[in-house]
Amino acid sequence: MRSYRKEDTGGDWKLKDWEVMITSLFMTQLKSAVLNDNGQRCRQAAATLDDLTFDNRFVRELPGDTVTANQPRQVRSACYSAVQPASVAAPELVAYAREVAEMLGITADVCESDEFAAVFTGNKLVAGMAPYAMCYGGHQFGNWAGQLGDGRAIALGDIISPCGERWTLQLKGAGPTPYRRNADGLAVLRSSVREFLCSEAMFHLGVPTTRALSLTLTGEQVWRDMFYDGRPKLEPGAVVCRVAPSFTRFGNFEIFTARNEPDVLKQLVDYTLRNDFPQLGAPSTDNYIRWFERVCELTADMIVHWMRVGFVHGVMNTDNMSILGLTIDYGPYGWLENYDPKWTPNTTDAQGRRYCFGNQPAIAQWNLVQLANAVYPLIKRVEPLQEALERYVARYNRLWRSMMAQKLGLKAFDAATDESLVTDLLELLQQAETDMTIFFRRLAHLSADAAPEPEANDEQLIEPLKSAYYIPGQMTPGLHRQTGDWLRRYVRRLDSDGLADTDRRHRMNAVNPKYVLRNYMAQQAIDKAENGDFSLIHELLELLRRPYDEQPDKDRFAVKRPDWARNRPGCSMLSCSS
């Protein structure tokens, strides 16, 4: 047995990068519930919504739209338009995320009040709120699309939490804004359930994401042509209250460069540096460069997480890329079931597959190039931007390798052996339809402690993984042998690492989730909710709070996608209609 040596890895990376990243996310969360960054005890939660503290610096510090009419139009020289949410017929709470409420200082009693439902569907404003829609543009499917903006999202303002943190509250589906183009400004229950559940599921998986406070029904019906086949139907209207430190997107910067409005661009960049990246120091050309480098890093980290858990965003347009590296705008996203890098849940992208699972790292870099072009007028030098983009690739590759080593339960990625070990595995997973989540979770069951002599046969090795394969007939004798060969190689590699099985299992189970929001599960929750039964939304929210834990009474949610869901709309294919 050979022990791990740092020089084996080429020496330029840290052993536990990945673990540090995941742990620090959870620590931030735990700490914020009790103590603030200075170790002081946090204030008490608000007794009513009127007791919340707002401080709306986005509208205070940045130029706003001078036209007040809420009509679709081009908005010039402004970062936002002040706009009121529309009133709705009958606000009704469907669900709320208790950790988000707690983080904001809103008690369970307040969340369950009629006032909460009224405020978070947009029917009522409380003191201190200053609602607005953001102006941004974006590249959609590789082409510049001009002004997009919050067509149906309305920020209510920034709340200062009891622990002194700042969170922007934003209602999605709260009525039309000047950015709506020819759409209605609304959202339906179907897409709102998906956004609400998935943003919370991602958070608990340790993936950087916007959060969701609440999901409410408006009591109104909304026309949607879900299949774009000219047969619209009425669906229940809904609103999600999203929560994030900032909702600024790459497209917020692009719009000002595209319109040749460098003064507004500079105001927004300076604002972002001061408020969202204060650790980088005061705005200056050098700090603009450091800021762009940091955005590249945050983006790389986010994409590695997506690749770890099998998440496919589905619409990685530059208007859907957060400047903080948060997963944002849950539309036709999906989770890989059988491991297939070419898979995309988005029917609009079925031809080109621009946003398929395997393309996500490269597309993120393409999007960063658009951001670099947008901020170039402030920096006026290509080389530092180019270097940052190259460093994105290096960082992504380094973290991806580290992440794959963690998924396999290795102490560290050893290029000499693991480059081919990982590549060969990912090839193998595509030969027969293999469920990614189940495969990696079950791989921890393999034993390396008791490496039998002579070595285990194919059947013994494959046995713990059988539940990951979709179609028994695809496991031909040849593939069976190849899989057995790979597993033997893997066991030998584990043996050289020398970790005890229990230790390795523990590490693997901390990065390979047992429960993810499988596409069909979200759809079942939607089907029930459309019939007035919200129980599955609540059950899934609870389940996905602990995605890495064994939850023996919930095993039915940790199995392969059932056959009926293979080609059912909403389960494997989604349109952008929402």
Active site residues: 319
Q: Which of 308, 268, 247, 426 is nearest to 25 (CA)?
A: 308
- What minimum distance in Å lies between the beta carbon of 171 and ligand AMP? 12
Residues 259-318 that bind ligand AMP (CB under 6 A): 315
Applying CB under 6 A, which part among 32-40, 143-151, 286-294, 478-486 lies near ligand AMP? Answer: 143-151
576 binds ligand AMP (CB under 6 A): yes
Which residue, 183 or 559, has its beta carbon nearer to ligand AMP?
183
The entry of ligand AMP, Mg ion, none that residue 185 binds, CB within 5 to 8 Å by partner kind: ligand AMP
Q: Which of 318, 316, 317, 302 is nearest to 375 (CA)?
A: 318
x/- mask, Mg ion, residues 299-338, rule CB under 5 A, reads ---------------------x--------x---------
- The whole-angstrom separation of Cα 378 and Cα 424 is 45
180 binds ligand AMP (CB under 6 A): yes
Paired tokens of 221:
């019906």
Paired tokens of 144:
């510049």
Which residue, 249 or 305, has its beta carbon nearer to ligand AMP?
249
CB 392 within 8 A of CB 367: no
- The whole-angstrom separation of Cα 247 and Cα 268 is 13
Which residue, 152 or 442, has its beta carbon nearer to Mg ion?
152
129 binds ligand AMP (CB under 6 A): no
Which residue, 136 or 440, has its beta carbon nearer to ligand AMP?
136
Q: Which of 164, 138, 166 is nearest to 151 (CA)?
A: 138
x/- mask, ligand AMP, residues 182-201, rule CB under 6 A, reads -xxxx---------------
Site size with ligand AMP, rule: CB under 6 A: 17
**How many alpha carbons lie under 13 Å from residue 44 in its C-beta half-sphere?**
4
Crossing angle of the two packed helices 262-276 and 250-258, in degrees rounded to 10: 160
- The whole-angstrom separation of Cα 400 and Cα 415 is 12
Which residue, 283 or 331, has its beta carbon nearer to ligand AMP?
331
Site size with Mg ion, rule: CB under 5 A: 2
**How many alpha carbons lie under 13 Å from residue 340 in its C-beta half-sphere?**
17
575 binds ligand AMP (CB under 6 A): no
Residue 472: burial class (beta carbons within 10 Å; 0-12, 13-18, 19+) = exposed
Applying CB under 6 A, which part among 64-72, 176-184, 235-243, 483-491 lies near ligand AMP? Answer: 176-184
574 binds ligand AMP (CB under 6 A): no
The entry of Mg ion, ligand AMP, none that residue 180 binds, CB within 5 to 8 Å by partner kind: ligand AMP
The entry of Mg ion, ligand AMP, none that residue 435 binds, CB within 5 to 8 Å by partner kind: none
- The whole-angstrom separation of Cα 212 and Cα 23 is 22
3-class state of residue 431 by DSSP: helix
200 binds Mg ion (CB under 5 A): no
Strand locations in 267-327, DSSP E? 311-312
Residue 272: what residue type? Answer: T
332 binds ligand AMP (CB under 6 A): no
Query: Cα–Cα distances in Å, from 547 out to 145, 290, 408, 449, 481?
Result: 38, 35, 18, 27, 33
149 binds ligand AMP (CB under 6 A): yes
- What minimum distance in Å lies between the beta carbon of 134 and ligand AMP? 9
The entry of ligand AMP, Mg ion, none that residue 303 binds, CB within 5 to 8 Å by partner kind: none
Residues engaged in binding Mg ion (CB under 5 A)? 320, 329
Residues engaged in binding ligand AMP (CB under 6 A)? 148-152, 179-180, 183-186, 315, 319-320, 329, 331, 576
